Structure 1
Amino acid sequence: MKPSLPRIETLTPSMSDSTQLHHQVTEILRDKIVDGVLRPGTPISERELCEELSVSRTPLREALKILASEGLVQLFRNRGAIVSPISVETIEDKLAVLGALEGHAARLVCQHASDEQLKELSTLHRRFVKDFDTGEPSLYFERNQTFHQKLVEMTGNVVLIDMHALLSRHVRRPRIEGVRQHLPTRVVIDEHKAILKALLARDGDAAQAAAEEHLKRVAQTVVTYFRMR
């Protein structure tokens, strides 16, 4: 593989635990895949990666297992691994489930969130609007994800939070690539505003509908992009 990966040079004795090491390797490889440094279909050479990252095969293989569970890597018995191709059908299905989770989260937030929590979400929305026109895809995606993650975290439902986090990782790569190619229009701001308005009014039906409609449109945009490539 040609793209050069950063060496892990910040390990301290307290961080040398194998679990921490393979998580660190996982984060580096995940970022490289999501950011497009390692493209879909790229063969993964364990030998080259071990040299690049200055690690043994054990933490690397643990990292690859995690990335395989996230749909970013495909493992083949006795034949190594490759960066997973992006499947339009899989993206569509996962975004549909993500929309259902966020819709349910919005309803729960109306029932259980404190006024202080809703104020915090309002602040995140204002920050999102302020930075929207920077033309920087990574900043847009970060601000957008922060808003949605906070919405889900406010439910206090650990199972829902974990499921949402897992699916969000699964669709991060295609969503970021879609954003890079087609910067979102300001309709996203209007959709976030509709979600927030319903939440502040404690209107569970409206909040759920607004959240689901927003993710449905996002899914259509992402899927359309990948089908037209």
Structure 2
Amino acid sequence: MSTKLSERLREAIEEEIATGRLLPGTRLDELELAARFEVSRTPIREALSLLAGEGLIETAHRRGAVVAQITPERLVEMFEVMAELEALSARLAARRISDAELQELERLHEECRQAAELRDTDAYFYANERFHYALYASAHNRFLCDEAVALQKKLRPYRRLQLRVRNRMRNSHAEHAAIVQALRDGDGEAAVRCVRSHVLVQGERFADLIASLARLADEGGRPEREAGPAEPARATAARQPSPAG
């Protein structure tokens, strides 16, 4: 139970980092976070440990846990590497994916379609995450899968935020369809092109992401530099199940 709670808390804090509620450099005090989320310090400590493992927070000398500094330039670099890891996964999967794995990918693609039709960004986010994890697994390269998952976790809040851009869910689903078709055809080069285009954040998509970050920070008001008490957020932390990997 504590593990599931810590995962939900990680997700809630992760969301606040992505939207600017918790700015880079903000100190994360366990006692104050526990009071705000109405939980004990133990799951907060576990959640912060998970976030540290994802690179979203870091430990500063004499300050404890602070939100990591991730610049727009750094985000671009991370998405560039993510695109290449996923492209390699797709190239290998085009040769190695089993019938059962392809069926699972198609099932997850259908989950994404249903969520997109309902305009449910949370449901789409989780189905999309499972879709990408299934793609990594289909490459049958454990080292590659581990590296892709590790970077995916660092980019998680920003990939979630992308889905709030107008028409992004619909476009993402269409891109998934092209990926699935390329894998079905066993066309590694097509799979690489589709995945790379799907993941890369550049041009208008990068501008949209940065605009979303700025807008959501403004909507949330000017956050305090200290992650101090605010309105009770227990419901926010509890509303989502932990994602399937």
Which residue in the other structure is 2:139 paired with? 155
In terms of mean alpha carbon deviation, does 111-120 or 199-208 score higher? 111-120
Which residue in the other structure is 1:32 paired with? 12
Which residue in the other structure is 1:16 paired with? none
> Contact 1:33/1:83 (CA < 8 Å) preserved in 2?
no
> Contact 1:34/1:176 (CA < 8 Å) preserved in 2?
no
TM-score by length of 2: 0.72
Deviation at 1:226, TM superposition (A): 4.2
Partner Cα separation in structure 2 for residue 207 and residue 226 of structure 1: 25
Partner Cα separation in structure 2 for residue 182 and residue 82 of structure 1: 32
Unpaired runs of 5+ in structure 2?
215-245
Correspondence list, 1:6-85, <5 A: 10=1, 27-36=7-16, 39-41=22-24, 42-49=26-33, 52-55=38-41, 60=45, 64-85=48-69
Partner Cα separation in structure 2 for residue 183 and residue 75 of structure 1: 38
Deviation at 1:67, TM superposition (A): 2.1
> Contact 1:99/1:211 (CA < 8 Å) preserved in 2?
yes
> Contact 1:91/1:223 (CA < 8 Å) preserved in 2?
no
What letter matches 1:33 in structure 2?
A: I
> Contact 2:56/2:154 (CA < 8 Å) preserved in 1?
yes
SS of residue in 2 equivalent to 1:156: coil
Q: Indicate yes or no: 2:160 matched with 1:176.
A: yes
What letter matches 1:78 in structure 2?
A: R
> Contact 2:121/2:163 (CA < 8 Å) preserved in 1?
yes
Larger gyration radius, structure 1 or structure 2: 1
SS of residue in 2 equivalent to 1:172: helix
Unpaired runs of 5+ in structure 1?
1-9, 12-22
Change (3 A) 1:120 1:77: same
Q: Which deviations, in whole Å up to 9, do the C-alpha atoms of 1:133-162 show, x marking residues without a partner? A: 212211111121121111111122111111
Q: Indicate yes or no: 2:114 matched with 1:134.
A: no
What letter matches 2:154 in structure 1?
A: H
Partner Cα separation in structure 2 for residue 221 and residue 137 of structure 1: 20
RMSD between superposed Cα atoms in Å: 2.7
> Contact 1:86/1:174 (CA < 8 Å) preserved in 2?
no
Q: Indicate yes or no: 2:224 matched with 1:224.
A: no
Which residue in the other structure is 2:151 paired with? 167
Partner Cα separation in structure 2 for residue 98 and residue 162 of structure 1: 12
Q: Indicate yes or no: 2:107 matched with 1:123.
A: yes
Which residue in the other structure is 1:17 paired with? none
Partner Cα separation in structure 2 for residue 118 and residue 56 of structure 1: 40
Q: Which deviations, in whole Å up to 9, do the C-alpha atoms of 1:158-205 show, x marking residues without a partner? A: 111111111111111122223235451533222111111111111111
Q: Which has the higher contact order (CA 8 A, sep 6+)?
A: 2
Deviation at 1:40, TM superposition (A): 2.4
What letter matches 2:108 in structure 1?
A: L
Out of 185, 188, 195, which is 1:201 matched to?
A: 185
